[in-house]
Structure 1
Amino acid sequence: MMAFSMTSPADVIKDLSQRAKRRRIDAGITQRELAARAGVSYGSLRLFEETGKISLEALAKIAFVLEAEAEFEQLFPPRPPKTIEDVIDRPARQRVRRK
C-alpha cells in the first residue's frame, strides 16, 4: 500500500534543508567549512539552511561532502510496468507529442 504525504513543496524543501543542516552539525562541520569543501559560497549555504533555496548543482556538491550523494539515485525512479506493452523490449520514448 502506498503512503500519501500531505506536505507541500515548501514543506519538502524546508525539511530537506533542515536534514542537511542536522547532518552537517552531526559531522562537526561549520557552515564555512562545508561551503569551502563543497565549492559553494558561504552565503549560498546559509541561504539554503535558512530558506531551502539553492541551485541543484550546489545541492549536489553539498551532498557529496556530507556523503549523501547516493540518495539522489532515489529521486525520480522509473515507474513500474502497468501493462504487458510496458514490459516488451522497445526503445524508450524521448519526448511526448500532444494528441
Structure 2
Amino acid sequence: MFAFSMTSPAEVISDLSEKMKRRRIDAGLTQRDLAAKAGVSYGSLRLFEETGKISLEALVKIAFVLEAEAEFGHLFPPRPPKTIDDVVGRPVRQRVRKK
C-alpha cells in the first residue's frame, strides 16, 4: 500500500517517480525496454523519471509491466465513519450539490 506522508504534491510526485525508477532498475529494464513493454513513448517515460510528469494512462501501463497495478486499488479508500449516523441509516451519496 502507498504510505505517502509528504508535505506537498511535488514531493508525492517525486517520490512516486523515484520508486518507479528503482523498480524498473531492480527488474533489469532500461528506460527503452520498459517504454516498449508498456506501450508508452520513451520520451514520456524519461520525462516521468526526470520531472514526475506523465499521463495517468501511461502511469497505469507502466505499473502493469512492473507488476504494481494492485497499488492503484489503495489510492482512494473510503473515509472511516466519524459518528454512528455515518454508519446507520444514511444513504450513500452519489454526488454533491452546490450550496
TM-score by length of 1: 0.89
Judge conservation of contact 2:35–2:41 (CA < 8 Å) in 1. Answer: yes
Q: Give structure 1 regions of 4+ aligned residues with deviation exceeding 3 angstroms.
A: none
Match of 1:87 in 2: 87
Percent sequence identity is 83
TM-score by length of 2: 0.89
Quote the Cα distance in structure 1 between the aligned partners of 2:82 and 2:13.
30
Judge conservation of contact 2:6–2:12 (CA < 8 Å) in 1. Answer: no
Q: How does 1:1-20 map to 2 (within 5 A)?
A: 5-20=5-20
Quote the Cα distance in structure 1 between the aligned partners of 2:40 and 2:15.
21
Q: Secondary structure at the match of 1:72?
A: helix
> CA RMSD of the aligned region, Å?
1.6
CA displacement, residues 43-93 of structure 1 (integer Å, 9 cap, x when unaligned) = 000000000000001000000100111111110100011122211255421
Higher relative contact order (CA 8 A, sep 6+): 2
Match of 2:67 in 1: 67
Gaps of 5+ in 2: none
Single out whichever of 83-92 and 24-33 deviates more from structure 2.
Answer: 83-92
Aligned residues: 96
Gaps of 5+ in 1: none
AA of the residue aligned to 1:93:
R
Quote the Cα distance in structure 2 between the aligned partners of 1:32 and 1:38.
10
